[in-house]
Amino acid sequence: MFRHLLHIDFAPHRSLQEQVRETLINAIMSGIFPTDTPLPSCRQLASQLQVSRNTTALVFESLVNEGFLVSRPRSGYYLHSDYQPAQRTSTAQSAPHVTENAPCWGARLQMAPSQQTSTLKPAGWMNYRYPFIYGQPDTRQFPLAAWRSASNWLHRGIHDPAWVLDHIDQDVPMLIEQIRTRVLPKRGIVAAPDEILITLGSQNALYLLARLLMSSSTRVGVENPCFREAINTFLLADADIVPFPVDEEGIVLNDSICDYYYVTPGHQVPTGVAMSKTRRNQLLQHATNHDAVIIEDDYDSESNFMLSPLPALKASDRSGRVIYVSSLSKALSPGLRLGFMVAAPELIDEARALRRLIYRHPPTNIQYQMAHFLAQGHYETYLRRYHQDSAQRWDRLNNALHHYLPECKVISGSEYANAFWLSTPNEISAQQLTWRAAHAGVLIEPGERHFLSEAPPDNFFRMGFHAINPDAIDQGVKLLQEQLVQLK
């Protein structure tokens, strides 16, 4: 019986002791071990799993110390009374039966975010041989040793672990100081500590701003095509979305007057266009003339590998009209979900209070760890390698596109963005090209969902280059070209 229950397919990247312990814990918590019957001995289990006896002995000893098992001399290891199946199953309850009198949740919902148009990525994108997907890093580049070093530093203070405490609505001062003195100056921004708020990614900052500043009477000017998730967030406040076209210099203003303007000037999403200095000055002056506020999403501030990127819009703000939103995890690891916002203290105070009502504050252990990672220079070291690698990938994909897909044009002004925004010949549907390419193992992103119009164009698509193996770029573009030819 035990031989069947305790089979383990060992994963090579995890320790044997860890996996044996996890298997035994699962078996104990599932209630599959009988009462008053000894578990397999250390020797028996070691033989069955083909591991050393020392490994199983250490696991059994730890489970005794932590109260899962009891050791009876000359008899063996038994379940602790707290985990005996009879007691555990007696309190178990089956799931309640849903009757016809259950609430109608569809009628109760005041909003349906699941019905919004959003940018979709296949859940199994990593299984594609040629994933030209945007926003996913090459996990092999992650600085694991340096990040582990920051974790070890954090846990050395176990006798006085400040990260264990509830900070209510406050951020870790060490991280605020690193952002203020290390991160923001690179974008030309000078800010005081009370002008900075840590968020769970830049998307979270946009949500806080939408809840605080927008309503059904608010007009929000946005770029078109656009970053869909930002638009969806503003729509939660029932704001009136006003699209402005984008050309090779960025957003093109017209006579429409808005309360807020949401822009991505570093590299426009999704076209990758860097807003020109002239357009930046026009936008700042426009906001001043019409008492408007600019929300600057500098999402790629750290991942921007241009040789001399322009300073942030916030750096030229002389009237306090720019709210700056950015990310600490875009280049390092999107899964960390660390972002920040820079704005007037009055707005930061209210955003802090609203954040407290939602989740109080971002996890302090991650804040401390990131602060140490920054303070020790690990982040700068990683970014240098990241920028060099990104530039090489960009050049490789750019050359492959010019060689194999010259008929798919790249918009001018988008050089050295973190993705390519391309247009197909007029007779070619990007949706059909995406579908055919996927069946050939090539993953690209159709651009239709980025447009704010009832009849969006169907001849744009996006190609990222961080998730794919660089050596596979040429072959992937060649396969894409073959699919394009078959559609002509």
Tell me the whole-structure pTM to 2 decimals.
0.87
Considering its fold, how many domains does the chain have in total?
3
Q: Domain check: are 436 and 354 in the same one?
A: no
CATH at 423: 3.90.1150.10
Is 397 a member of any domain?
Answer: yes
Collect the ranges in the chain with pLDDT lower than 50: 1, 89-92
Q: For residue 430, which amino acid is it?
A: A
Is 148 a member of any domain?
Answer: no
Token code pair at residue 220:
């929000």
Q: Domain check: are 176 and 277 in the same one?
A: yes
Nearest to 59 by CA among 31, 28, 30, 19: 19
Neighbour count for residue 76 (Cβ, 10 Å): 17
* Predicted pLDDT of residue 121: 75
Q: Domain check: are 252 and 291 in the same one?
A: yes
* Predicted pLDDT of residue 13: 84
* Predicted pLDDT of residue 91: 47
* Residue-number span of the structural domain to which 123 is assigned: 119-135+381-487
Q: Domain check: are 269 and 198 in the same one?
A: yes
Q: Domain check: are 238 and 358 in the same one?
A: yes
* Predicted pLDDT of residue 478: 97
Nearest to 233 by CA among 246, 244, 218: 218
Q: Domain check: are 41 and 58 in the same one?
A: yes
Is 412 a member of any domain?
Answer: yes
Q: Domain check: are 386 and 367 in the same one?
A: no
Q: Which residues lie closer than 8 Å to 288 by C-beta, 6 or more apart?
A: 319, 321
Last residue of a domain, one of 331, 350, 372: 372
Last residue of a domain, one of 372, 389, 408: 372
Q: Domain check: are 387 and 280 in the same one?
A: no
Is 114 a member of any domain?
Answer: no
Q: Domain check: are 410 and 450 in the same one?
A: yes
Q: Domain check: are 206 and 271 in the same one?
A: yes
**3-class secondary structure, 112:** coil
* Predicted pLDDT of residue 90: 46
Q: Domain check: are 386 and 346 in the same one?
A: no
Is 66 a member of any domain?
Answer: yes
CATH at 84: 1.10.10.10
Token code pair at residue 330:
């875009």
Is 111 a member of any domain?
Answer: no
Beta strands 240-247; 219-224: pairing state? parallel
CATH at 173: 3.40.640.10
Is 152 a member of any domain?
Answer: no
* Predicted pLDDT of residue 100: 74
Q: Domain check: are 265 and 315 in the same one?
A: yes
Is 297 a member of any domain?
Answer: yes
* Predicted pLDDT of residue 159: 52
